[in-house]
Amino acid sequence: MSLTLRAYTPDDFDKLHAIDQACYPSGIAYSKQTLRWFLRLPGAECVVAELEDKIAGFILAQQEGPNAHLITIDVLAHARRRGVGTALLDILEHSLASCGARQVELETATDNQAAIAFWHKHGYRTVGVLKRYYLGRLDAYSMHKSLPAPKET
Ligand SMILES: CC(C)(COP(=O)(O)OP(=O)(O)OC[C@H]1O[C@@H](n2cnc3c(N)ncnc32)[C@H](O)[C@@H]1OP(=O)(O)O)[C@@H](O)C(=O)NCCC(=O)NCCS
């Protein structure tokens, strides 16, 4: 498997939007306007994964000082369970930590078993339930993870 991780560039936008539409149910997937807004936030960081030279997923977060918010992680169905999500999360967490983040928070739907298993495997713990967080009717877990301070060299 040839996996490449690289920074997002604006040329990727349409593909990332299509991936998000494919990864989430209608109404939860981001509109173009919303996705563009997240990508332009101050402190936004987006990493793209290419499998065999084709974009297969991405991860997007925003950092504000010691706090980071993981906005989304999307891996196309055909590319799942091959470590792409893990590779995206690892590189992003390292980058956030090296820029001073000490905590990452995220939300995930309480019925998204794959995502919950993924977050637990990567050390995220549930800290609360956000009632009717999605579409005004679906609950979400609020999850947190502490990041270690980068080692001094
Ligand atoms: C969640 C998601 C990003 C995982 O991406 P991925 O590339 O398949 O993840 P990985 O291959 O790195 O999986 C790492 C581990 O997570 C867990 N995991 C991932 N998908 C799982 C599933 N469907 N069922 C159970 N455990 C799962 C497993 O422990 C897995 O390790 P293993 O394959 O050795 O058992 C992907 O399923 C996805 O994009 N889903 C749609 C969008 C989404 O729900 N995003 C998260 C919203 S908060």
> 36 with 13: CB under 8 angstroms?
yes
What per-residue confidence (pLDDT) applies to 150? 77
> 59 with 88: CB under 8 angstroms?
yes
Position 153 in a domain: no
Atom of ligand 1 nearest to the CA of 89: 12
Q: Write out the two tokens for 144.
A: 């947190």
User: In the structure, what pLDDT confidence band is assigned to residue 153 with cuts at 50, 70 and 90?
Assistant: low
Position 152 in a domain: no
Position 21 in a domain: yes
Atom of ligand 1 nearest to the CA of 85: 7
Q: Domain tally for the chain? A: 1
pLDDT in tens, 7-43: 999 999 999 999 999 999 999 999 999 999 999 999 9
Domain that holds residue 135: 3-146
pLDDT in tens, 98-149: 999 999 999 999 999 999 999 999 999 999 999 999 999 999 999 999 998 8
> SS3 letters for 15-47?
HHHHHHHHHCCCCCCCCHHHHHHHHCCCCEEEE
* DSSP H/E element including 89: helix 84-98
What per-residue confidence (pLDDT) applies to 1? 77
Position 15 in a domain: yes
Q: Whose CA is nearest to atom 4 of ligand 1?
A: 85
Atom of ligand 1 nearest to the CA of 70: 48
* CB 117 near ligand 1, within 6 Å: yes
Q: Which of 51, 60, 98, 104 is nearest to 79 (CA)?
A: 51
pTM: 0.97
What per-residue confidence (pLDDT) applies to 129? 98
Position 90 in a domain: yes
CATH number of the domain encompassing residue 21: 3.40.630.30
What mean pLDDT is predicted for residues 52-57? Answer: 96
